Structure 1
């Protein structure tokens, strides 16, 4: 298969998504729409995403919406407030709505990420962190995946980090610089769809860190010069797999 014919398939898949032919119009993070005001969406998305690891995404974001709706637990989405709270107080709030499932590990992660955010700008919030790097993916990636990686557990991992950038763009309207650096977030559905399209062999379905890295790099190479950023194909691939791979057609 030539790269040109492959790109034709990719563009058809994206078109199918735009026309609603892949189903799944409701995404997990949609649970926040109408519940969380625009100004607070970056904090809620970021802290919620820090626990989006080996979880059912739909139930996680429903629990997060419930916790935000309750004024007595809303403070857990304010990084500075979390960083100044006691771990016991945070644990009780996170467990109340099952935002945290692990009573020790999850609150520790939530607090560590909150502290990393709070220390990143005078504002002490996610938007302040993004402003500090002028909304440029390159320095943000360097901070969160290199120099200060330990401050952003889970969130710094390649799968969650890139998907976080994508949902921030989708739900907060942030305009990223160096957007081409946002790779696909190779979860199981993306791996399956990548193999189905013939971009990678079925060997990557083992799902190791090297497999996921190979898939991300394959998409970067395949889309280079096409005008598409790798993250543009993430949701179409994800929905195509969830829908059972319907034929590529808009008819």
Structure 2
């Protein structure tokens, strides 16, 4: 059983994918599902921040395209618009929140998703005057501290301590939220983003493995493999620069996601044959061999 992190290969892949995504696109695309705002929302406004924050809090085991489309439809309907208002979430019966989150399929797991959504929203209402920026400011805009507070902050509910930010505190969603606050909302005050790990989902994982940045012969739990992937991108971007600043791991999140979503997803898991490789921007790095990510297990023979 062996595993290799190839940082030199990672540097080349990071540079290639970032430049491709910033210009021609990857598999012809330069957009992300969260880029489109609801009809009446101004980029950078409080409405935009709450739209991004609450939607990303239930971004687990979901198809991103359908999640963000459902969220926009929910926001655009005056009858369900209240779901994005922390004060109104606090005042609305839970049963109604459950029902209204199902109108446009915003929730896949009705009780669980509504509980996550309401808890996050009500936390911002009761502790931060309904504005996530007050929380960020209280953390001195320090990204590692924000992630730590997301994980640790709790409140008393029915006699027991429960997390303030369920799922928003997760190892994927926390960093993803910070990237969206930077890239989508346009919050420039966030500091030390270079210390934030790349948000690893199945697409970022698959693209990292198919380009050979992490490779080897191993069967391993996906959460352990994700640790290797986070380390690989922390190391690989060192010394690279974009837009007159140092490149950071978060910069390759979107390019990797696109590479997998519209490319590596079609690859044969056993042989490594990919039917779209002839038009893939990263084809020179495509590695042959077995790459399976299923049921929280990664099987690698590359």
Question: Which residue is equivalent to 2:73?
Answer: 66
Following the alignment from structure 2 to structure 1, what is the Cα–Cα distance between the partners of residues 256 and 110?
34
Alpha-carbon contact 1:192-1:205 (below 8 Å) kept: no
Per-residue deviation at 1:31?
Answer: 3.4
Per-residue deviation at 1:37?
Answer: 2.5
Question: Which residue is equivalent to 1:152?
Answer: 165
Decide which of 186, 203, 208 is 1:189's aligned counterpart.
203
Stretch moving more, 46-55 or 207-216: 207-216
Per-residue deviation at 1:222?
Answer: 2.5
**TM-score, normalised on structure 2?**
0.74
Structure 1 stretches of 4+ with a deviation exceeding 3 A read: 1-6, 202-207
Following the alignment from structure 1 to structure 2, what is the Cα–Cα distance between the partners of residues 129 and 204?
41
Alpha-carbon contact 1:135-1:174 (below 8 Å) kept: no
Aligned positions of 1:44-123 closer than 5 A: 44-121=51-128, 123=129
Following the alignment from structure 2 to structure 1, what is the Cα–Cα distance between the partners of residues 222 and 9?
29
Question: Which residue is equivalent to 1:231?
Answer: 250
Following the alignment from structure 2 to structure 1, what is the Cα–Cα distance between the partners of residues 95 and 141?
34
Per-residue deviation at 1:89?
Answer: 2.1
Deviations 1:202-228 (A, max 9, x none): 668866222212211221122234421
Aligned positions of 1:163-174 closer than 5 A: 163-174=176-187
Per-residue deviation at 1:157?
Answer: 0.9
Alpha-carbon contact 2:214-2:229 (below 8 Å) kept: yes
Which one has the bigger helix percentage?
Answer: 1
SS at match of 1:96: coil
Stretch moving more, 43-52 or 215-224: 215-224
Alpha-carbon contact 1:137-1:178 (below 8 Å) kept: yes
Alpha-carbon contact 1:159-1:185 (below 8 Å) kept: yes
Following the alignment from structure 2 to structure 1, what is the Cα–Cα distance between the partners of residues 91 and 193?
34
Deviations 1:23-53 (A, max 9, x none): 2233211332544233111101111111111
Following the alignment from structure 2 to structure 1, what is the Cα–Cα distance between the partners of residues 220 and 74?
35
Provide the aligned C-alpha RMSD in A. Answer: 2.4
Following the alignment from structure 1 to structure 2, what is the Cα–Cα distance between the partners of residues 208 and 196?
15
Alpha-carbon contact 2:70-2:105 (below 8 Å) kept: yes
Question: Could you list the runs of 5+ residues in structure 1 that have no partner in the other structure?
Answer: none
Matched, 1:222 2:236: yes
Per-residue deviation at 1:150?
Answer: 1.6
What number of residue pairs does the alignment pair up?
248
Of structures 1 and 2, the larger Rg is shown by 2
SS at match of 2:150: helix
